[in-house]
Amino acid sequence: MSILSTQQILDAGLGDWRKLARALHARFLTRDFATGLALVTAIGDLAEEAGHHPDITLTYPHVDVKLMSHDAAGVTARDLDLARHITDLAGERGIIADPAAPAVVELALDTADVAAIGPFWAALLTGDAGAVDGDDVADPGGRVPLLWFQHTDAHETPRQRFHIDLWVPHDAVEARIAAAVAAGGTVVDEAQAPSFTVLADPEGNRACVCTVLER
């Protein structure tokens, strides 16, 4: 099954869901644990019937759901189908979503030699030095954020080598950037917006605010 483009996902009109990085995300405001547990159980039954299983996080006030076709390493038509059904399940129970809430944090590390440093970071973060896939260190257990290696020329420290990538919904990015600027940050580079915008804190440490648009 082929990966859908960002535009195809947007055209699907999934009001509760937002694509961040490679997956669909939604937060359902269940307000209490029992309601959340009932929703998770219903989603589990639906997933078993479909043979396609989302990642689900249950907390006291909300349920977070992540959908991705791992065999295709992206969002496919079956993810859209399951997303629609999950929205229907929530609606039947009077549960609304908060589309602006989902966020994904990734770590980026500048390096001129992925082969040299990749195994170290894989072993440190996941316990498995072989958990390097191309330019990524991904924890299959989901315990730590994805670390990706940004290719650069060789350089001496202390030039900044780490930065955070924050993925937010495409229709919430302006508000998030405005909040960061109001809190003392500055916009360093917006030439690639809305794909990503580079911000800096008052000491010059940088972060990228990312969306799926224009990728």
Residue-level pLDDT at 154: 82
- Determine contact, residues 44/12, Cβ cutoff 8 Å: no
Q: Residues 80, 109: one domain? A: no
Domain contains 1: no
Q: Residues 205, 182: one domain? A: yes
Query: pLDDT averaged over consecutive 10-residue blocks of the chain (215 residues)?
Result: 93 97 97 97 96 95 95 92 98 97 94 89 90 91 88 75 92 94 94 96 88 94
Q: Residues 76, 121: one domain? A: no
Q: Residues 157, 74: one domain? A: no
| Entry pTM | 0.89
Residue-level pLDDT at 187: 96
Nearest one of 17, 84, 102 to 46, comparing CA atoms: 84
Residue that finishes a domain, picked among 97, 130, 154 = 97
Q: How many domains does the chain have?
A: 2
Domain contains 168: yes
Residue that finishes a domain, picked among 97, 123, 148 = 97
Residue tagged 């947007």 (tokens): 10
Residue-level pLDDT at 158: 57
Residue-level pLDDT at 181: 93
Domain contains 215: no
For residue 50, the one-letter residue type is A
Exposed e or buried b per residue across 13-26, where buried means at least 16 C-beta atoms within 10 angstroms of its C-beta: ebebbbbbbbbbbb
Residue that finishes a domain, picked among 75, 97, 119 = 97
In this structure, are strands 136-137 and 132-133 parallel, antiparallel, or unpaired?
Answer: antiparallel
Determine the number of helices (DSSP H) and then strands (DSSP E) in the chain. 5, 13
Residue tagged 């479909």 (tokens): 50
- Which residue range is the domain that position 165 belongs to? 104-210
